[in-house]
Structure 1
Amino acid sequence: MFFFIQKFSQASSKMLKYPFPVRLGTSRRTDTLSLKTFLQQKFSPLFPRLWLFSSYSVCMNKRQYYHTSPCCFKKKQKEAVIPARPPSTITYLPDSPKPALYITLAGLIPFVAPPLVMVMTKTYIPLLAFTQMAYGASFLSFLGGVRWGFALPESSPAKPDFLNLANSTTPVLFSWFAFLICERLSEAIVMVIIGLGIALHSELFLLPHYPNWFKALRILVTLVAFFSFIITLLVKNIYPEGGPKRPS
């Protein structure tokens, strides 16, 4: 028993003095092997089954050493890859200049107000439907003017060629034809919807020169106008007609 205590105290004192080589420039694997060799030499007579703990690694650094288990290693977190936003999408809407964004949102009121009033009153009002169609046709003319004006400056990416100038007149033609058949209000509304769709398609795919934030605004306006016109057509077929008549 006395021999066992003396042997253990000698080994402990040697461990405190770090007899095994610990060099700052060496790798962790060298330090681990040195510590294992030292433990096997000093404690193998006392603990013959010390090899059971050989699977545990001892990591050394400049100041301290610590004992770790293989199950304690954390998995590396995968770096989150943020996909780039595709062009011509509504995700660029927050990038819009504040005046353009606020004016565009205010410009949606004439599209939304007529069907909202008719749904709340459960009555189809031809005058409100006509004002909604007229505003949509006027908006088509505005889109044609935007394309024409965008192609005029010398520094503009859209040149004043036949492609740009001819496409700027297309929404105006749909607007004119919608007013021409305004006696048949449902057909006029459908004509405005078609004009808005063709104008959006040409601006996003045929003439991709507008800034992305302007394309996002165009997508927003087209979607709101489309659904507002659809609601108006549904109200005409569901609710009875009433209210003031539109001027003939």
Structure 2
Amino acid sequence: MFHLLRYFQVPSKMAYLQILLQPRSRAACSFVPLQCSLTGLPKSQLFRHTSSGLSKAQGFHSSCCNWKKKKPPESAPQELDFLRYYMKSLKDTPKPALYLSVAGLIPFVSVPLLMAIQESTYPELVFAQIAYGASVVSFFGGIRWGFALPEGSPAKPDWINLGNSIVPSILAWIALLFKDGLMEAGIIVIMGLGITLHYDLALLPTYPSWFKALRVIVTLVAVCSLIATLCIVNIYPEKHLTPATNKVED
């Protein structure tokens, strides 16, 4: 008799294992007739027993998924693109700084525009533009010096900050020494504008974001204007604003 009961218990365990491996709907349908034939219980009680067993089995299966190590959320990639990272802060620029910066670009843009319209090269205007660019380069260096002096400033008055603020002034002075070499003077001013921009964005990143965005715009316009002037010098013939007067020796 016990051998007979053991014979019936083994298929019932195998059938319960089938429940864990099969989908819920198919397992319930296949398990109920099998249990009815083995135990002789009514189908309603067996179906209730089967559904409760399935819910436990499914809960056990869902808990197994939680054992897997979840990957930590990936950090957002750092936005190195300047147009997306800094240009958003351009709208926070104070109005006086924005208007004065735009007005300061007029001497840069007007010289190549005037010479292109006249189709002539005026050395006086070219030198005036280069001298103005040299003063702007020196001004950008002075900003760092003034920024490092107040107490509590993030830029300390050390050798790096104060020394870097002097380099643009030296470049501006060297550019003014090339009075007869306009090409050399223009190239030195362009180098000075690029070096000061590199200082403010990369080496000494303590300025507000709106100032960095404004610096990039001002520098790009100034450099493009100087390049256009140097190209016009090599294309159009040279003329003077005032005719040369010949001195007559008595």
TM over 0.5: yes
1:105-154 Cα offsets, whole Å, 9 max, x none, are 00000110100100111111111101100000000111111110000011
Q: Is the 8 A contact 1:90 1:219 kept in 2?
A: no
Q: Give distance in 2, aligned partners of 1:238 and 1:86.
A: 36
- Name 1:212's counterpart in structure 2: 209
Q: Indicate yes or no: 2:116 matched with 1:119.
A: yes
Q: Give distance in 2, aligned partners of 1:226 and 1:178.
A: 15
Change in CA separation of 1:245 and 1:201 when aligned onto 2, cut-off 3 Å: farther
- Name 2:176's counterpart in structure 1: 179
Over the matched positions of the two proteins, sequence identity in percent amounts to: 54
Larger Rg: 2
Change in CA separation of 1:165 and 1:218 when aligned onto 2, cut-off 3 Å: same
Q: Give distance in 2, aligned partners of 1:93 and 1:182.
A: 37
Q: Give distance in 1, aligned partners of 2:158 and 2:201.
A: 18
TM-score when scaled to structure 1?
0.63
Q: Is the 8 A contact 1:151 1:164 kept in 2?
A: yes
Give the CA RMSD over aligned residues. 2.2
Hey, which of these two has a bigger chunk of helix by percent? 2
Q: Give distance in 1, aligned partners of 2:151 and 2:81.
A: 28
TM-score when scaled to structure 2?
0.62
Q: Which runs of 5+ in 2 are unaligned?
A: 1-75, 245-250
Give the drift of 1:89: 3.3
Q: Indicate yes or no: 2:199 matched with 1:199.
A: no
Q: Give distance in 1, aligned partners of 2:88 and 2:233.
A: 34
Give the drift of 1:85: 8.4
Give the drift of 1:182: 2.1
- Name 1:59's counterpart in structure 2: none
Q: Give distance in 1, aligned partners of 2:175 and 2:225.
A: 17
Change in CA separation of 1:171 and 1:90 when aligned onto 2, cut-off 3 Å: farther
Change in CA separation of 1:245 and 1:127 when aligned onto 2, cut-off 3 Å: farther
Q: Give distance in 1, aligned partners of 2:209 and 2:136.
A: 20
1:175-202 Cα offsets, whole Å, 9 max, x none, are 0100112220110000000011011011
Q: Which runs of 5+ in 1 are unaligned?
A: 1-80
1:30-84 Cα offsets, whole Å, 9 max, x none, are xxxxxxxxxxxxxxxxxxxxxxxxxxxxxxxxxxxxxxxxxxxxxxxxxxx9x97
Q: Indicate yes or no: 2:217 matched with 1:228.
A: no
* 1:22-37 aligned within 5 A: none
Give the drift of 1:217: 1.2
